[in-house]
Amino acid sequence: MRSDLLPLIYLVDDDPEFRDLMAAVFKKRKVEFVGFDNPADFLKRLREKRPTLCLVDLHFGGVSSGYQLVQAVRNVLGPELPLIVTSSTSDTHSVSHAMEIGATDFVIKPVDLDILFTKLEYYSNALKQDSSFNFFPVPEDRAAGRMRLGLKVREIDELGITFRTPHLFVKGTFMKVTGPLADEILGAGESFPVTITSSSVEDGIYTAFGEFESVNEKVLQLTRLWLGKQKAPDAG
C-alpha cells in the first residue's frame, strides 16, 4: 500500500497492547500514526491537525464513552471525516448505534489486519476522489423525491417485522412496507405501517425491527389472524 494514500491516522484506545500493535503495523506500512490513551489529548490534537481518518474504540473508558467520542469527533471535524469504530464481536447493537450517531464504518476485535487495511484504503481513495464537477444545491421546492429499497423478512410477529437489509435505517423512521406478503396478509395493495425501533449489524448486514402502528387495529388483527393460520389451519 502506498503511504501517500494514508497520510495520518489517529487511534484512541485504552488498550496499550492494541495501540502498540497498531503503531508497529502502521510503521511497517510507512503510514503516519498517532495513538491516544485519553480523549482529552485526542480531541486537542484533532483541533490542531486534521487526520485522514480516525479509529475509535467504541468501549473506551466504559459503556457510553465511545459514543461520546464519536459525537465529539463529528462536532469538531464535521460529518465527512472517515471514522471507524472498533468493537467486540458480540456487540452488534452497539455498532449499529454508533453508525447511527456518526461512525462511518466498524472493525471487530480482534482486528483482522487485511480487513482493516482494505477499509482504510477504501475510505482514503474515497476522499481522494477529486470531483471537478461542482455540486449545485437543489431548490427546496424541487428537492422532494422517493427511493425504493428491498428488504428480506426474517420474522413476523404480532408486534412487527424483523427484516434484513444491507442498508442502515435510522431508528424512529416511519415507513410503509409493501410486497406479496403484505398483499397476502392485509389485502392487495395494502402496506404495513412500521416504525424502526431497533437495529443491529453483523457481517455487513443490518437486522432491523419495524414495529406496527399500535393504533392500526386492522393491521394488527389481520396479522394475528394470518399468524394463527400458520400454526393451525382455520376450520371456520
Task: Name the one range near other proteins by CB under 8 A: 4-12, 13-21, 86-94, 224-232.
Answer: 224-232
Give the footprint of other proteins on residues 8-37 (CB under 8 A): none
CA distances from 189 to 157, 161, 178, 180, 186 (A): 20, 18, 7, 9, 8
Site string for other proteins, 147-166 (x = CB under 8 A): xxxxxxxxxxxx--x-xx-x
Does 82 participate in binding other proteins (rule CB under 8 A)?
Answer: yes
- How far is residue 103's CA from residue 72's CA, in Å, rounded to a whole number? 11
Does 214 participate in binding other proteins (rule CB under 8 A)?
Answer: yes
- The answer to whether the peptide bond before residue 110 is cis (omega within 30 degrees of 0) is yes
Does 187 participate in binding other proteins (rule CB under 8 A)?
Answer: no
Sheet holding 192-202, edge to edge: 160-165, 205-212, 192-202
Radius of gyration of the chain (CA): 22
Taking the complex as a whole, the smallest distance from the CB of residue 51 to other proteins amounts, in Å, to: 15
Taking the complex as a whole, the smallest distance from the CB of residue 17 to other proteins amounts, in Å, to: 29
The C-alpha cell 457481517 sits at 203
- How far is residue 141's CA from residue 127's CA, in Å, rounded to a whole number? 31
Task: Name the one range near other proteins by CB under 8 A: 29-37, 59-67, 85-93, 102-110.
Answer: 102-110
Does 203 participate in binding other proteins (rule CB under 8 A)?
Answer: no
Q: Which is nearer to other proteins, 44 or 176 (CB)?
A: 176
Does 105 participate in binding other proteins (rule CB under 8 A)?
Answer: yes
Taking the complex as a whole, the smallest distance from the CB of residue 121 to other proteins amounts, in Å, to: 11
- How far is residue 207's CA from residue 202's CA, in Å, rounded to a whole number? 8
Taking the complex as a whole, the smallest distance from the CB of residue 42 to other proteins amounts, in Å, to: 20
Among 17, 48, 203, 234, binds other proteins (CB under 8 A): 234
Q: Which residues contact 24 (CB under 8 A, 6 or more apart)?
A: none
Taking the complex as a whole, the smallest distance from the CB of residue 215 to other proteins amounts, in Å, to: 9
Give the footprint of other proteins on residues 107-126 (CB under 8 A): 122-123, 125-126
Q: Which helix (H) or strand (E) holds 87?
A: strand 83-88
Does 76 participate in binding other proteins (rule CB under 8 A)?
Answer: no
* Residue 173 neighbours by CB distance under 10 Å: 13
Taking the complex as a whole, the smallest distance from the CB of residue 225 to other proteins amounts, in Å, to: 4
